[in-house]
């Protein structure tokens, strides 16, 4: 049996993670990204044998499984992304043209009057790609069976997340119904929050996003890497950009610590929680007045539109958690349960021909939902301790920086998630 030195193994995994990230950006094949010993079955056996003896063995194993899945199936994901981006489809409304799925989705967001028509073209053109998405999930299942490691063991931080998603959809149903979403175009409109247009920077950039946070103390001394930015299509774009900034700040703090497998959460829970905390900052009236410069007469309407966007986004996040379970359960279960699930979560019945295309499901999306609930609880605590404008309070910022520097593993039991859901609902209901 191969004996490996844990810290050297840790550095190899860190380098492999960076290489896979680089290849994902350049579009290079991923299959040969890992060193030979990382794909040696003896290595898996050694980690499983030592995980109860060495505190590093268990996180090393989880990260190895994550990276092996990325290396084996990363190229397939890239193919699906290219098909979405590059393959043209004929449409007859609102124009006679050939458009890619990416173009149709972008046009639906930028042209409100023609939004529904472009989305009809999108749904009519997505069946072939949806079938390929289903095959990818079948391949993921086969990968997990071959390695004798359930996908959830290295992709889902807690078994409590799935029931928490179901409970959230049920408890927030009345509030969600006030959004009056009955078709995809209305969901897009709520998510974009186009009516909450006042006070935002003229341009959406990394600099303007970080400037919205005000004091640089939150990320001072950190090497914050460039983060993805959506096109500026509405206030929802700025919420998303702030969320991406939070993840990037969390990543920068993790990069300062070692070993890699302990400093960087394999489930991405910490980064998603911090991203959600910053991404929902604009819900605070204090943020609207202090950062966006809104007068008191405009704050209420703006906050209502933003709260609707966040509630819709939480429903989409919960839907992703539960859709993941259906994708792993086979076509028969998917076909029978998708209509009711999509109606409850999205407000309309999502056709099977658009599964995994219109609402994509990524391996660690469960933590996006769980992170949003944890962030709601954290916001509530910060308000109780430092008041509504905690984002301007040096002590609150120092607390958050300390948490990022030495993050403790968050408890993810049913009680913790329920408390987060309650905090999120109370915050949103106060603004709706």
Mean pLDDT within 319-332: 96
Assigned domain for 397 exists = yes
Assigned domain for 295 exists = yes
Among 17, 52, 83, identify where a domain stops: 83
The tally of CA atoms less than 13 A away on the side-chain side of residue 113 is 2
β-bridge partners, 359: 355
Range of the domain at 28: 1-83
Cα separation, 421 vs 205, in Å, equals 31
Assigned domain for 253 exists = yes
179 and 281 in a single domain? The answer is yes
79 and 179 in a single domain? The answer is no
198 and 321 in a single domain? The answer is yes
Q: Is the pLDDT of residue 128 over 90?
A: yes
Among 34, 55, 83, identify where a domain stops: 83
pLDDT for 256:
83
pLDDT tens sequence across 31-80: 999 999 999 999 999 999 988 888 899 999 999 999 999 999 999 999 99
Cα separation, 282 vs 291, in Å, equals 9
Q: Is the pLDDT of residue 226 over 90?
A: yes
187 and 72 in a single domain? The answer is no
Whole-number Cα distances in Å, 30 to 67, 123, 331, 399: 10, 30, 28, 39
Cα separation, 380 vs 425, in Å, equals 12
* Conformation bin of residue 249: beta by default, left when phi > 0, alpha when psi is -120 to 50: alpha
Assigned domain for 416 exists = yes
Assigned domain for 107 exists = no
Assigned domain for 293 exists = yes
Assigned domain for 372 exists = yes
Compute and round to an integer the Cα radius of gyration of the chain: 22
What's the total number of domains in the chain? 2
pLDDT tens sequence across 80-121: 999 999 999 999 999 999 999 999 999 999 999 999 999 999
Assigned domain for 142 exists = no
Residues in CB range of 324: below 8 A, 6 or more apart:
361, 365, 366
Distance, CA of 76 to chain centre: 20
pLDDT tens sequence across 181-202: 999 999 999 999 999 999 999 9
pLDDT tens sequence across 334-346: 999 999 999 999 9
pTM (whole model) above 0.85: yes
pLDDT for 3:
61
């Amino acid at each position: 049996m191969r004996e490996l030195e844990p810290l050297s193994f840790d550095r190899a995994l860190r380098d492999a993670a960076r290489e896979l990230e680089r290849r994902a950006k350049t579009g290079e094949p991923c299959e040969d990204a890992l060193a030979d010993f990382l794909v040696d079955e003896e290595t898996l056996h050694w980690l499983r044998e030592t995980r109860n003896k060495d505190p590093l063995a268990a996180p090393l194993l989880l990260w190895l499984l994550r990276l092996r899945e990325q290396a084996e199936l990363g190229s397939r994901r890239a193919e699906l992304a290219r098909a979405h981006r590059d393959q043209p489809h004929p449409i007859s409304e609102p124009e006679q043209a050939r458009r890619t799925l990416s173009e149709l989705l972008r046009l639906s967001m930028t042209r409100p009057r023609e939004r529904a028509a472009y989305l009809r073209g999108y749904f009519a053109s997505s069946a072939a790609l949806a079938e390929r998405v289903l095959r990818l999930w079948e391949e993921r299942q086969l990968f997990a069976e071959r390695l004798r490691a359930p996908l959830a063991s290295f992709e889902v931080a807690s078994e409590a997340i799935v029931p928490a998603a179901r409970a959230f959809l049920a408890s927030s149903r009345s509030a969600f119904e006030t959004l009056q979403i009955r078709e995809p175009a209305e969901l897009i409109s709520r998510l974009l929050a186009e009516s909450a247009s006042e006070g935002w920077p003229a341009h959406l950039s990394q600099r303007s996003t970080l400037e919205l946070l005000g004091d640089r103390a939150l990320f001072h001394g950190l090497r914050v890497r460039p983060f993805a930015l959506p096109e500026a299509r509405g206030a929802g774009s700025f919420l998303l950009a702030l969320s991406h900034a939070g993840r990037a700040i969390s990543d920068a703090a993790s990069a300062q610590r070692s070993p890699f497998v302990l400093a960087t959460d394999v489930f991405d829970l910490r980064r998603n929680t911090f991203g959600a905390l910053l991404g929902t900052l604009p819900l605070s009236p204090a943020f609207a007045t202090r950062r966006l410069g809104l007068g008191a007469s405009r704050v209420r309407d703006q906050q209502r539109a933003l709260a609707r966007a966040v509630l819709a986004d939480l429903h989409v996040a919960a839907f992703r958690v539960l859709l993941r379970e259906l994708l792993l359960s086979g076509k028969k279960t998917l076909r029978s349960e998708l209509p009711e699930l999509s109606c409850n979560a999205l407000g309309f019945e999502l056709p099977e021909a658009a599964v995994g295309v219109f609402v994509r499901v990524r391996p660690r999306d469960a933590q996006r939902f769980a992170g949003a609930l944890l962030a709601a609880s954290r916001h509530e605590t910060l308000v109780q301790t430092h008041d509504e404008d905690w984002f301007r309070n040096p002590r609150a910022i120092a607390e958050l920086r300390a948490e990022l520097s030495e993050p403790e593993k968050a408890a993810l039991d049913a009680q913790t998630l329920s408390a987060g859901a309650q905090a999120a609902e109370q915050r949103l209901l106060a603004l709706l």
